[in-house]
Structure 1
Amino acid sequence: MNAKVLASSLAFLLFTSFKPVNTNFGENTPAFAPTYVAPVYTALPLGEIKPKGWLHNQLQIMRNGTTGHLDEVYPKIKNDNGWLGGKGDAWEETPYWLDGAVPLAYLLEDKTLQTKVLRYINWTLENQRPSGYFGPITKEEREKGVKVTVENCSQGEDWWPKMVMLKVMRQYYTATQDPRVIPFFTKYFDYQLKTLKQCPIGKWTDWAESRGTDNVMLVQWLYGITKDQSLLELANLIDSQSFTWSTWLGNRDWVIGAATQQNDAHWMRRHGVNVAMAIKAPAINYQRTQDKEYLSALDTGFKDLMTLHGLPMGIFSSDEDLHGNDPTQGTELCTIVEAMYSLEEIIGITGDLRYADALERMTFNALPTQTTDDYNAKQYFQIANQVQVKRGVFNFSLPFEREMNNVYGMRSGYTCCLANMHQGWTKFTQHLWYGTPEQGVIAMAYSPNQLTTKVGKSNTEVTINEITNYPFEDQVNFEIFTKNEVSFPLQLRVPAWCQAPVLKINGQTVEVQPDKNIITLDRTWKNKDKVTLQLPMEVSTSNWGRNSRTIERGPLVYALKLEEKWEKGIDQKEGAYWNVFPKSAWNYGLLQTIVKEPVKNLQVKNVKPVTDKFVWNLANAPIQITAIAKKIPDWKIVNDVAPQPVTDRTGIYRGRVTPTVEKITLVPYGCTKVRIVAFPVVPN
């Protein structure tokens, strides 16, 4: 891919500097930092943000589907669960599920679901060992009747699943302030500090070593509460025993190697889910050390990652390894939800709004397409140019002999995604707003919701109703309710793609001059004050792998609308699944005139209202874009995928093209299951 073209057309993802950074972190620094960098923006307690409108319906679907009932329909979690004291699942899948089910229970104020998840939380809290160790009963404990202690830490089990359960506990604490939680964390981290030299992070599995950043993140979260200096020492120790992601992200060699090597050597460094978790590592390390070279590593690493492996829907290839930017490569669902969470953490720590643009693109495009309407089946790998969904090998670096990685099924492919997919929409909802250092709030990502929080020096409670059908419309309305007048700064993010935002307060247009893409309204607010933010969306095209072009408008990318034919199958090991085939031709190239003058040659039409019952599918697609195209007869399916036609350096396909110009219809990518989104360009 031409990096210069990509950087200019996708400023929200690919950043301006393009130079390696000094990655000799901490050579002249003490063993641990004496100070701590407070996050620029503070995550609000779970429950202060309530979903509304189409987002509320999405979470209700999850509650009625697998998020609310995985323990009833999935035997691995259902049967004799280790996180309830049994002999069943004692590793990652139960905590993965809880990492989405716990926030869902409190976002929806669902008492039934809260009671369900509390069984696991209570068992974990109540069965922490006197040493501080926690988790399912180990083999040694069960067979010999002894507890895991500091002295016999080797009789414990893998550190990795505990990192996920700690994330669950943090969310639970912000929702409830349960007084048991902080002592639980404190005892466990004291246990880790005393045992990690004897039982290091990578003792049991490479997964813990590759994902140690999540452990560091949670240690530093507790430090932000207790200010116990030993926690920074522990964070430094864990980081020293984990994969050196910050160095790799800041160093070109790693991402280039990941793009060129697809063998089994060092594959954990290329594993897409590991990378998705790791992109927050430089921000986490900066938070502990104040070393700004970490922020440079983050900038360089994320930009390089999206340049060499990025796909139009805002995520990088991950099938399971990083696998280049060809639109026929796959992306694992776990990669998407973990990358979203990493971006949410990065935004809070750094305050860098470029990552909020990346978060919205990923959420509104890549996430919704990979699950069924009822949230009961998922795709292990999605493909950008996905002209069919079926059993097959495809171009994946993890093909499986059973050929089940591309179909929609509850248990198809690896079931890690069945357990982990639940954190995507729930944590996105939690991070629509952040607190600011000036005791105000910032609307970071846009979707319908209601915020109730305390603001200003007077610590006054306010409720802000955010009324919008974003990302399908360009207007966001805020209604402020307060018993007493209150002064606080209300900040509104302006996405990088928006050139001319329009702001009104109580119906009066206000001149705005965003500072670093932030509009700050610092004033005394009265009950029923109203703010309207309009973010005009203009159609454009962007350049992606193999000189393909994608049509986008606002945070959404648009794909060819193809009517779907669903076929159900049964696999002996992985159960029911669905293939999806297109009912019409897909082999179109966009006319060159669209790339030259997209606004003039693309027609945008609102065809359906976005209701509170909106579901991400073709039937509900609210917007259509009409484009002109010609068929490419020789563009055909080969080995289950549609290899991208070769273009010359001007980006034009010079092969045989039908003379007939046709109108084609595009819809939001997230509403599709089969599609073309990365189009070749053909002569007029």
Structure 2
Amino acid sequence: MLLSHLVLTCALALDLCKAKLAPKKFHSIPLGKILPVGWLQDQLRVQTEGLAGHEHEFYKWVKDTDWVGGPAAYSYLEEAGSYWFNSMVPNGILANSSVINQKTLEFLEYVLDTQDETGWLGPEVGTDKRRVLWGRYPFFFGAIQMTEVYPELTSRVVDALHRFVPLANKMLKAGVGTEEWAQTRWEDFVVTLQWLYDNHPNGQEELLLDTMQESKWSGIPWELVFSEKFFPKIEAEKLENPFPELSWHGVNIAEGLKGLPATYRFTHNQTGQPRYRKQRLGYALQVSWSTVGSFCSGRIFSRTRSRQRACFHTMQPTCLTLDRTELCLVVEAMFSGSYLFQVTGDPKYADQVERMAYNALPATLTGDMWGRQYLQQQNQVASKNMTPNPFPEDGPYSNVFGLEPNYPCCTVDFPQGFPKFITNAFVTTPNNESLVHAYLGPFRTSVILSQDNVVTASVETLYPFGDKLTTTITASKAFSYFVRIPGWISRGTLSINGDLPQPVAPKNGLHQVSIQAGITTLVLELPSDIRIESRPHQSVAVHRGPLNYAFDIPRVERQLAVHPAEPRAVDLEFTPADAWQYAIDPSTLAFVNNPPRSGMLPSPIFDSGLPPVTLSVSACRIDWPLAGDMFAAPPPQNPSCLGGMRNITLWPFGATKLRISEFPVVQIQKFVEQQGDSK
């Protein structure tokens, strides 16, 4: 352990004498009380009818016939089963799938039934198999969600967790069960312990606090990893990682974002050490975000090959060429972002989650959601089995769309993305007097606020494929309603019950509305400007609202493999069918909106040519070489046009599967002058 970690340990431990968890800025709403409507409901239907809703039928890692005594049973609470359960509990409830709901209930009962007299949970009981703590943490999240939907299960789940905690406490103090993955993901256990403390302490507050501390000290010190001193500011492969290698694993970084706010809750330490960049809680979350909300990393952040750039260490990260983002990273960062927003109240985390949900997540899935990538790229000119392998530590199959490209983890983990985004779309204030609309989109919620105030809110919108949100609120008593105004909005307006629209005036990202008893209709208009973001190599990214826009490269599709038990589970290769080497003139960008006449968006919305919003821009062909087997070199700087200017269409990033989203730049005027000189 680093000496600085010991110093930090002592400093934070002093705060434990307060023996009470610091409150969160916002409280989550139980699963099932927030439902998707409109296009987002259809998106969840597509997911449920796709791989997520069927993998338990045939996929070897979570096949339901192996749950009891089968060959996969002992691995279930190592990773695969826990991931699947954590994802499919909210998926089944929100999609109203009786089949999935029955499967998750069977899984919960199976795990609880196998708890032994020591408190250990899972099918490993009664064996000499090594006990590993981390695999249970995603299961705990799923079990907590089950109690929110089925209150009759609460006592059984809570009793099981309270039997597990003393054993886990002993294991942590003895250094047992804390292998390399548990050392990076201790924060997930702390969040579970805090749920017990907040809701069902059962007189065990001291033990719960002690176990939070032991869990934290057993693992990677995220305060130091994220500190000014240690977090990389140059290419990570040029640095020696002072922490265990997995501290720079992309998914661990995404999960580790919960570590700092989780620590704050039980230490009350808001300032950390003086060297840390001060933010709301006094810690430095220096992860910089990509154009689509996530950050870039393959399996391991630190690289050894000079052409690989780990890209979330700079203030302007890039996912160009071989830089990439793992699908597990996206959904885990979304979940962590929701937790960060609820603990800190800082709206920038909600902005990032919304951007990931509407860009990075759908981009790495086929439209029908039967195929997924392991890695996605900002500039992705092919999706194929690359030889020679360009991905150090990740396989050549990593950006193929399919059942299990490279590692299986994303197959069972990705389904949590949209369901947990939905379940965190609304929150309440700690006094339970106010309702907060956190993530913009089509939702419906029904809650009981303080003083038995029954409130429903239904949001009708095409957002992010439209700028208008109409919210109908029914309340039995007056209360304050808050709606998040994203950071990219500068001229939004709100109309109440048909009155003249008034400019929104958010404070800390939230606009407050006084709602009277009865029915209130809010019409929120959030028109956005086109935003140009400077990127490396003098390239630019283009945004409007929460959406990043990309050139959708026409593609040729070829089937690489098909699962013998499920013909819909296929591996697909995509290669370009036409030119992709374009430079654009950003001064010519124009927004084009073709709203559907029926009011219903196409299904599935995140596929080529289907979103109703696009951007047009003048562009020209340029010399832009490949840097290997079908991946693009970095954007050329100061390129010259190879022919005349033409208009091309940019589409929402999430609907593209091959794309250019970070463009070289040319200027029409300069092009005209060059043409004149050549004559």
Tell me which interval the TM-score lies in, with the shorter structure as reference length. Answer: 0.7 to 0.9
Gaps of 5+ in 1: 1-21, 144-154, 648-652
1:222 matched to 2:217: no
Cα drift, residue 449 of structure 1 = 1.3
What value does the CA root-mean-square deviation take over the aligned residues? 2.6
Three-state SS of the structure 2 residue aligned to 1:374 is: coil
- For 2:15 and 2:355, the matched residues in 1 are separated by 39
Number of the residue aligned with 1:673: 657
| Alignment correspondent of 2:173 | 197
Match of 1:182 among 158, 171, 182: 158
Matches within 5 A, 1:555-574: 555-570=546-561
410-419 vs 514-523, greater mean Cα deviation: 514-523
8 Å Cα contact 2:374/2:406 also seen in 1 = yes
**TM-score, with structure 1 as normaliser:** 0.86
- The aligned amino acid for 2:192 is L
1:56 to 2:76 alignment:
no
**Counterpart contact for 1:451–1:464, Cα < 8 Å:** yes
**d(CA) in 1 for partners of 2:283 and 2:332?**
16
Aligned to 2:228: 251
1:118: how far off?
0.6
Deviation for aligned residue 1:354 = 0.6
Which of 281, 284, 292 in structure 1 is aligned with 2:259? 281
Conservation of the 8 A alpha-carbon contact between 2:482 and 2:512: yes
Q: Matched residues in 2 for 1:481 and 1:133: separation?
A: 46
Q: Does 1:132 find its partner at 2:125?
A: no
Specify the alignment match of 1:365 in structure 2: 359
Structure 1 residues 36-45 or 185-194, which shifts more?
185-194
- How far residue 659 of structure 1 moved from its aligned partner, in angstroms, is 4.8
Once residues 262 and 662 of structure 1 are traced to their aligned partners in structure 2, the CA distance between those partners, rounded to angstroms, is 44
State the one-letter code of the partner of 1:519.
H
Structure 2 Cα separation of the partners of residues 660 and 515 of structure 1 = 48
- 1:574-589 aligned at under 5 Å gives the runs 576-589=570-583
Paired AA for residue 397 in structure 1: P
Gapped regions of structure 2 (runs ≥ 5): 1-5, 302-309, 312-317, 669-679
1:481 aligns with 2:482: no
State the distance in 2 between where 1:213 and 1:567 align.
Answer: 42
1:304 to 273, 286, 306: 286
Give the alignment partner of residue 115 of structure 1, picking from 102, 109, 114. 102
1:170 equivalenced with 2:149 (yes/no): no
* TM superposition shift of 1:630: 1.9
**What letter matches 1:446 in structure 2?**
L
Maintained 8 Å contact 2:270/2:283: no
1:383 and 2:366 are equivalent in the alignment: no
Paired residues of 1:70 and 1:77 also in contact (CA < 8 A):
yes
Cα 1:42–1:408 change in 2 (3 A) is same
Q: Which moved more, 1:549-558 or 1:59-68?
A: 59-68
The separation in 2 between residues aligned to 1:436 and 1:641, in whole angstroms, is 47
Partner of 2:405: 412
Taking the aligned partners of 1:74 and 1:289, their CA distance within structure 2 comes to 42
Aligned twin of 2:485: 494
> Which residue of 2 is the match for residue 151 of structure 1?
none
Q: Is 1:549 the equivalent of 2:544?
A: no
CA offsets 1:332-363 (integer angstroms, 9 cap, x no match): 11010011010011111111101011111111
Return the alpha-carbon distance in structure 1 between the equivalents of residues 415 and 220 of structure 2. 26
Letter of the 1:289 counterpart: T
Quick check: 1:305–1:316 contact (8 Å CA) kept in 2? yes
Aligned to 1:13: none
Counterpart pick for 1:314 among 273, 283, 293: 293
**Does residue 623 of structure 1 match 2:621?**
no
Instruction: Give 1:613 shift.
Output: 4.8
Contact 2:260 2:283 in 1 (8 A): no
2:53 is equivalent to residue 75 of structure 1: no
The 8 Å contact of residues 626 and 666 in structure 1, kept in 2 or not, is answered as: yes
The equivalences for 1:285-684 within 5 A come to 285-293=263-271, 304-306=286-288, 310-322=289-301, 323-324=310-311, 325-328=318-321, 329-392=323-386, 395-400=390-395, 403-438=396-431, 439-455=433-449, 457-482=450-475, 485-509=476-500, 511=502, 512-526=504-518, 528-570=519-561, 576-591=570-585, 594=586, 597=587, 601-609=588-596, 611=600, 613-615=602-604, 616-636=606-626, 638-647=628-637, 653=638, 655-684=639-668
CA distance in 1 between partners of 2:635 and 2:660 (Å): 13
Shift in alpha-carbon separation, 1:551–1:404, aligned structure 2, 3 A: same
Change (3 A) 1:663 1:219: same
Q: Deviations for 1:54-97, whole angstroms, at most 9, x for unmatched residues?
A: 11111111221222221112022216535x45441332111111
Q: Is the 8 A contact 1:279 1:302 kept in 2?
A: no
State whether residues 12 and 267 of structure 2, in contact with CA within 8 Å, keep that contact through their aligned partners in structure 1: no
Is the CA contact (8 Å cut-off) linking 1:41 and 1:435 kept in structure 2? yes
TM-score, with length taken from structure 2? 0.87
Deviating more after overlay: 23-32 vs 536-545: 23-32
> 1 CA distance for matches of 2:545 and 2:266?
35
The 3 A distance-change label for structure 1 pair 612 and 180 is farther
- Paired with 1:567 and 1:175, the residues of 2 have a C-alpha distance of 43
Distance 2:27 2:69 in 1: 35
Provide closer, same or farther for how the CA distance between residues 489 and 159 of structure 1 changes in structure 2, counting only shifts above 3 A. Answer: same
Q: Which position in structure 1 is the counterpart of 2:25?
A: 40
Residue pair 1:502, 1:509 contacting (<8 A) in 2 also: no
Match of 2:89 among 102, 123, 144: 102
**Using the alignment, how far apart are the partners of 1:290 and 1:79 within structure 2?**
43
Shift of residue 292, structure 1, vs aligned partner: 1.0
Q: Secondary structure at the match of 1:452?
A: strand
Determine the C-alpha separation between the residues in 2 that align with 1:28 and 1:351: 22
Q: How many residues align?
A: 626
Deviates more, 1:579-588 or 1:415-424: 579-588
Distance (whole Å) between structure 1 residues aligned to residue 500 and residue 21 of structure 2? 41
Structure-2 change in CA distance of 1:663 and 1:263 (3 Å): farther
Deviation, structure 1 residue 678: 0.3
Distance change in 2, residues 1:570/1:546 (3 Å): same
Shift, 1:267, TM fit = 2.8
CA apart distance, 1:496: 0.6
After the TM superposition, which of the residue ranges 637-646 and 487-496 deviates more from structure 2? 637-646
Deviation digits for residues 180-225 of structure 1, max 9, x if unmatched? 11111111112212332224342xx311111111111111121111
* Shift of residue 510, structure 1, vs aligned partner: 5.5
The answer as to whether partners of 1:23 and 1:251 remain within 8 angstroms in 2 is no
Letter of the 1:541 partner, please give it. Answer: I
Seen in structure 2, the aligned counterparts of structure 1 residues 478 and 284 have a Cα distance that, compared at 3 Å, is same
Contact 1:318 1:331 in 2 (8 A): yes
SS at match of 2:232: helix
Deviation at 1:176, TM superposition (A): 1.6
Change (3 A) 1:667 1:353: same
The worse-fitting range, judged by mean Cα deviation, of 109-118 and 257-266 is 257-266
User: Which whole-Å CA distance do the structure 2 matches of 1:394 and 1:479 have between them?
Assistant: 53
